[in-house]
Chain A
Amino acid sequence: MRRSTKRYLRQGGLYAVLAAVVIFLAVSVDWGNVHRNFWTPGLGDNWHDLILTGVKNTAIYTVISFALGLALALLLALMKLSDVLVYRWIATVYIELFRGLPALITILFMAFAVPIAFQWHAPGGTAGAGVIGLVMVAGAYMAETLRAGLQAVPKGQTEAARSLGMGPVATHVHVIIPQAFRIIIPPLTNEFVLLIKDTSLLSIVGAAVGQRELTNVSRDFLSSGSTAGTGTSLAQAALLYLIITLPLTRLVAWLEKRQQRAR
């Protein structure tokens, strides 16, 4: 047999297996049931309002966690690169701790245990406390990214700035940090996408109606309204997540490729 014939046969075989699986699913699955569960129309009047609130809150929680997480991460990264041993040590312990824990544990701690233990009322109640938990986790993850970015800036840059008389703070603010951020834009955008998805963890801590994010809102509809008992609301939430995250993941891929070309 010629080699091209062999390859032709092998590909034909793979297509045949695929076709068999598709046919099997098509005849054995109760499609009516699937459709009812994932896409029953008529989620009720207030669905649109609530889902919009959910999207809005997801966006707000993501942006807050990202912005505050980034500030925390910058502090941790600078501490980790500091000459002061104790600072390095504190940063390392923090980063290892909050990367080692499941994010959900941290969120639950902040929402329920910490407020009671420390007599503390988070702004925004339980939801606010949960967001702070997310900030703490995001900070730990982004700290490592930032540290790598800061270290990737060539030593000559610091030397040039210092030789001009610029102090360590001015050198960091004007020379090192701006270049570090350029280097880590792709991984940071990636962290942003992860955070969008991680805000769904906040659905667990319970929140006032106006504070609920996308997952929380759609979960409420699992047991209420005309579609109760079906997964329709979840399916629609899933679609909304994808509409937001997929373009961003493509953006990350594009940024990475552009950066590789620039190198």
Chain B
Amino acid sequence: MSAMTAAIHVSKLHKYFGKNEVLKGIDFQVDPGQVVCVVGPSGSGKSTLLRCVNRLEEPTSGQILVEGIDITDPETDLDSVRTRIGMVFQQFNLFPHMTVLQNLCIAQRTVKKRSKAEAIEVARRNLAKVGLSEKEGAFPAHLSGGQQQRVAIARALSMDPDMMLFDEPTSALDPELVGDVLDIMKQLAAEGMTMMVVTHEMGFAREVGDKLVFMDGGVIVEEGDPREVLANPRHERTQAFLSKVL
């Protein structure tokens, strides 16, 4: 084990929705700079796990440390922790009443208290990174799904997060637009961004992932090197799942 603090450390995490136990004791860790891909069948609790990490969902029990800070502790300033965790949603969730540039600036201004000029500078740098500089004045409704998702990534990056959470970022996209978004994620990974990615893109997991986590029925069934797990799944449930998606 390395001596450095884990980016994300989850232990004994349980989550109930009413009487329905959706996460049944999850233990895992993401190291700084690591890209962890989470795969598994629908309803296995992947989104719920991801959303517990920045507490969009309230864990029922267990502990989640983000850079050593216990986010399940009521004393923790959640908003300040959240600025260090970028999140990208399946449905993009851009603010439709704001232009692309405003989407990228609003949290910088209200949360990071950056000056307008600084916020715009940061926003433009991140827009350039996702290749959408010419769209800064457009409204989200006038962008394709792929462009919207790239803007959403740029919006998260504008907060200078230490890590990024992705919840099926390409699942709502037309097939021909998936590549652009994956390319940006690959670039981010290459720059050393810590990433936790729920995805059905096994190619991405194999190529970019440092670790693959397979979930089913609210537990982690198997985890390991993506190339290893994808080539030689040890568990029956992993085999069954992979035989369907590969």
Chain B hits for A162, CB < 8 A? 56, 79, 82
Whether B115 is near chain A, meaning CB under 8 Å from some CB there, is no
* Whole-angstrom distance between the Cβ of B87 and the nearest chain A Cβ: 4
Q: What 9 additional pairs, Cβ within 8 angstroms, besides A160-B94, A166-B107?
A: A159-B87, A161-B95, A162-B82, A163-B56, A163-B87, A165-B80, A165-B107, A165-B111, A170-B110
* A174 CB contacts on chain B under 8 angstroms: 95, 106, 110
Q: Which partner residue on chain B sits nearest A174 by CB separation?
A: B106
Q: Are A164 and B93 in contact (CB under 8 A)?
A: no
Q: A165-B79, A165-B80, A165-B82 are in contact. Are A160 and B95 (CB under 8 A)?
A: yes
Cross-chain contact A164 with B97 (CB below 8 angstroms): no
A178 within 8 A of B: yes
With an 8 Å Cβ cutoff, the count of chain A residues facing the other chain is: 18
Evaluate contact between A160 and B89: CB separation under 8 angstroms.
yes
| Of B56, B79, B91, the contact of A166 (CB 8 Å cutoff) | B79
Confirm or deny: A71 has a beta carbon within 8 angstroms of a beta carbon on chain B.
no
Does any Cβ of A come within 8 Å of B83's Cβ?
A: yes
Taking CB atoms and an 8 Å cut-off, the chain B residues in 96-111 that contact chain A are 96-97, 106-107, 110-111
Q: Does A182 contact B (CB under 8 A)?
A: yes
Instruction: Assess whether A164 is in contact with B91, with CB atoms less than 8 Å apart.
Output: no
Q: Does B155 contact A (CB under 8 A)?
A: yes
Knowing A174-B106, A175-B95, A179-B96 touch, does A163 contact B85 (C-beta < 8 A)? yes
**Count of inter-chain pairs, beta carbons less than 8 A:** 63
* Cβ–Cβ contact A164 & B156, under 8 A: yes
Q: How far is the CA of A164 from the CA of B83 in the complex (A)?
A: 5
The reply on A167 being an interface residue by CB < 8 A is yes
B110 partner residues in chain A, CB cutoff 8 A = 166, 170, 174
A contact residues around B96 at 8 Å (CB) = 179
B159 at the interface (CB under 8 A from A): yes
Check B89–A156 contact: CB distance below 8 A: yes
| A82 on the B face (CB < 8 A) | no
C-alpha gap A157/B85 in the complex (Å): 17
Residue B126 at the A interface, CB < 8 A? no
**Alpha-carbon separation in the docked complex, A141 to B97 (Å):** 26
Q: Which residues of B contact A167 (CB under 8 A)?
A: 79, 111
What are 11 residue pairs bridging A and B, where the CB atoms are less than 8 Å apart in the complex? A156-B89, A160-B94, A162-B56, A163-B56, A163-B85, A164-B82, A165-B82, A165-B111, A174-B106, A175-B95, A179-B97
B199 within 8 A of A: no
- Asked if B54 is at the interface (CB within 8 A of a chain A CB), the reply is yes
Give residues 42-96 of B contacting A (CB, 8 Å): 54, 56, 79-80, 82-83, 85-87, 89, 91, 93-96
B111 touches A160 (CB 8 A): no
Given A170-B111, A179-B97, A163–B91 Cβ distance below 8 Å? no
